[in-house]
Amino acid sequence: GAVVSQHPSRVICKSGTSVKIECRSLDFQATTMFWYRQFPKQSLMLMATSNEGSKATYEQGVEKDKFLINHASLTLSTLTVTSAHPEDSSFYICSASLPGQGWNTEAFFGQGTRLTVV
Amino acid sequence: GDSVTQMEGPVTLSEEAFLTINCTYTATGYPSLFWYVQYPGEGLQLLLKATKADDKGSNKGFEATYRKETTSFHLEKGSVQVSDSAVYFCALSVPANQGGKLIFGQGTELSVKP
């Protein structure tokens, strides 16, 4: 199956600094990638849809200036948490879909990034 | 809007017990349905999927049948193992021309005791 690699798997940063998380599709080209946030013992909350070569589409309530998404190539999307605060601590997961799947959209997930802001 | 509802966890079973995790959905079209599994500290892995009514997805002893008449996709396994302990997510897909995203249920934690 398709492989999505997410890096780093774990990061601790100081409050006020920015953190970049990378999501790469290793063996396929992903025109669309998705970024999710997961709180402990909860489901995945879609933050934004990242489209190669265009601006990301953010879900309602997600601050686009705080969570910057860049999808510069068909194999890489990045999420930058700017001016991080302790409330941004969470598990962030990316996924990528194979293009042109119509209703049969199957997503492949990265390993997730545990962000802790101290 | 489209949504997925799963039975609440945690579900605690003894090894070799029968497992059912209920999942129902609401959708305006004809979504594909998925079960994903998440082990502690990891991302999600596709467990099985079904793309149309009456399809049965199966993998690693798990099964789920796409029931359009009851809008359900219940996950079953005849004999669970300790290694099946994880969180299970039911999901449906929105078509690519509507964003292609997945809509997840709230997840059901399964704990299997030896």
- Average pLDDT over chain A, rounded to an integer: 89
Q: Which segment of A22-26, A57-61, B23-27, B101-105 scores lowest on mean pLDDT?
A: B101-105
Q: Where are the beta strands (DSSP E) in chain B?
A: 3-6, 11-14, 19-21, 23-26, 33-38, 44-50, 56-59, 62-65, 75-77, 86-93, 102-104, 108-113
With a cut of 50, which residues of chain B have pLDDT below it?
Answer: none
Handedness of CA B83, B85, B87, B89 (dihedral sign): positive
What six digits make up the tokens of B95?
């078509």
pLDDT band for A23, please (50, 70, 90 cuts): very high
Residue B50 to residues A49, A95, A106, B1, B71, Cα–Cα distance (Å): 24, 19, 11, 21, 13
Q: To probe the interface with A, which of B6, B52, B102, B111 has the most A CB atoms within 10 Å?
A: B102
pLDDT band for A99, please (50, 70, 90 cuts): low
**pLDDT tens column, B78-108:** 999 999 999 999 999 877 666 678 889 999 9
CA distance A17 to chain B (A): 24
| Residue type at A8 in one-letter notation | P
Q: Chain B residues with CB-CB distance to A under 8 A?
A: 29-32, 34, 36, 41-46, 49, 51, 89, 93-97, 99-102, 104-107, 109
What six digits make up the tokens of B107?
């997840």
* Average pLDDT over every residue of A74-96: 95
**Beta-bridge partners for B93:** B102
CA distance B74 to chain A (A): 18
